[in-house]
Amino acid sequence: MLGKTPPPPAAPEPPTRRFTDAVDPQTTVIGPGTRIKGELVADAPVELAGTLEGEIRASAHCRVRQGARVTGRVEAKTLVIEGTVEGPALVADRLEIGSTARVRSSIQARVMAIADGAIFEGEVRMDEAGSPQSFTEKRKV
C-alpha cells in the first residue's frame, strides 16, 4: 500500500437510549385503524398502533405508539407508552412514558421514566431500589 491512505475507521454506532431504538424482526405490529377486543398474549415484542379493548400480556417488550389506545391492564417485560392507556394497572420491569402519552392507571415497575409533557394520573409503586426519573424528549416520536 505504498502511497495509499488507509480508509478511515467506521464510525461507532450510537448507543441506544430508549427501548424503541433497537428493532427486533420478531416484533408483532398491530397497525393503525385496527381495533381488537379481547386479550393479547405474546412471547415476542409487540407494537400497538391501533386500539385494544382488553388486556396485554407480553413476556418481551411492548410499545403503545402515539395515536394508539389501550383500555385494560398491560403487563410486559419492558413497556413504552406514547399513546393513551387507561386501565387498572401497568406492570413492567422497565417503563417509559413518552411526551405524547396520556396514562390513567396504577403503575408497578422497578425502573420508570416520564417525559416532560406526558399526562399521568394514578399511583406508582416501585419495586426494589428503583426510582422514578424525568426526561425531556429530544427525538421525534
120-139 pLDDT tens trace: 999 999 876 655 566 666 66
Residue 71 buriedness (CB in 10 A; 0-12 / 13-18 / 19+): middle
Distance CA 54, CA 132 (A): 27
Distance CA 28, CA 44 (A): 7
Distance CA 104, CA 127 (A): 20
Q: Cell numbers at residue 36, please?
A: 381488537
Q: Is the pTM of this model over 0.95?
A: no
Domain ranges of the chain: 25-135
Q: What is the pLDDT of residues 80-125, one digit of tens each?
A: 999 999 999 999 999 999 999 999 999 999 999 999 999 999 999 9
